[in-house]
């Protein structure tokens, strides 16, 4: 059995607000030192793949795949340190690429690999949070797509996928190739790698494809989404400190200030 796990390198969403700004001309974040991390939902997807392999007593080959610049190799090394069996790097600028084009590029890369029984990706990326790639990839590969999966279990002829829905959970029996988008759950937080595996991952060889070779024209301007505007949301909260000598005086000052701002 073969599972492909899609990974994305994103700007760290935990950057403090004081360190984050926008470049108004280039319409992109302007952050010093550009700290990048693995998108959290993709980490959940990788953990589900690792757990399914353990439940199948190792009878599952895991291939990690990413689309991005050379520096995105770091997240593939992370997957290899967690004992992914192989790693595929589609080298190319991912930023600004239209979601449908991304899906076509990734589908073209997948067709060059051993046929997967399962494709896992995060329900959405931690940067733009569009949540479009899973469905578009399934369409490009002509396979079903099941969103919001939080758990996988081995089953006869395939596996069971636990899907989170508004009313609770639904269990689906999957017996053929499918794309699953993974949501977060307390049981699929990505594990930490062992030091010896981190060291060993640095020498592992990657499978490398190039964006333009997979889909001619995919790197051109016509394949990119145009950013019309980008701005930071106006802050909604404001904090004030009410002065006073003691609890009674502070309480009176708080009530007075609440009346001034029209709270009651």
Using CA atoms of 91, 96, 98, 104 in order, give the dihedral in degrees to the nearest 10. Answer: 0
Do 62 and 85 fall into the same domain? Answer: yes
Residue among 36, 193, 224, 51 at smallest CA distance from 126: 36
Do 130 and 162 fall into the same domain? Answer: yes
pLDDT, tens only, 159-206: 999 999 999 999 999 998 999 999 999 999 999 999 999 999 999 999
- Residue 228: inside a domain: no
- Residue 83 tokens, joined: 């004992």
- Residue 229: inside a domain: no
Question: Residue 152 pairs with which residues in a beta bridge?
Answer: 161
Do 263 and 177 fall into the same domain? Answer: no
Residue 219 has pLDDT above 70, yes or no: no
Do 219 and 243 fall into the same domain? Answer: no
Do 27 and 125 fall into the same domain? Answer: yes
pLDDT, tens only, 54-82: 999 999 999 999 999 999 999 999 999 99
Confidence of residue 220 (pLDDT cuts 50, 70, 90): low
- Residue 133: inside a domain: yes
pLDDT, tens only, 108-167: 999 999 999 999 999 999 888 889 999 999 999 999 999 999 999 999 889 999 999 999
Using CA atoms of 114, 115, 120, 121 in order, give the dihedral in degrees to the nearest 10. Answer: 70
* Residue 66 structural domain: 2-223
């Amino acid at each position: 059995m073969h599972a492909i796990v899609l990974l994305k390198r994103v700007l760290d969403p935990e950057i403090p607000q004081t360190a984050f700004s926008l470049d108004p001309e280039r319409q992109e974040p302007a952050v010093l030192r550009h700290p990048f991390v693995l998108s959290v939902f993709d980490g959940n997807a990788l953990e589900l793949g690792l757990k399914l392999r353990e439940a199948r007593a190792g009878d599952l080959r895991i291939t990690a795949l990413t689309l991005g610049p050379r520096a995105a190799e770091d997240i593939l090394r992370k997957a290899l340190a967690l004992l992914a069996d192989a790693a595929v790097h589609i080298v190319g600028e991912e930023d600004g690429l239209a979601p449908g084009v991304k899906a076509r590029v990734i589908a073209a890369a997948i067709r060059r690999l051993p046929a997967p029984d399962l494709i896992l990706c995060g329900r959405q990326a931690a940067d733009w949070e569009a949540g479009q790639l899973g469905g578009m990839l399934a369409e490009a590969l002509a396979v079903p797509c099941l969103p919001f999966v939080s758990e996988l279990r081995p089953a006869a002829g395939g596996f069971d996928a636990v899907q989170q829905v508004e009313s609770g959970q639904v269990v689906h029996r999957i017996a053929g190739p499918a794309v699953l988008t993974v949501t977060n759950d307390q049981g699929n937080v990505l594990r930490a790698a062992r030091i010896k595996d981190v060291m060993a991952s640095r020498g592992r060889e990657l499978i490398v494809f190039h964006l333009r070779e997979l889909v001619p024209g995919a790197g051109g301007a016509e394949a990119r989404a145009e950013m019309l505007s980008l701005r930071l949301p106006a802050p909604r909260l404001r904090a004030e400190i009410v002065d006073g000598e003691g609890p009674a005086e502070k309480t009176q000052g708080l009530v007075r200030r609440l009346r001034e701002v029209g709270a009651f």
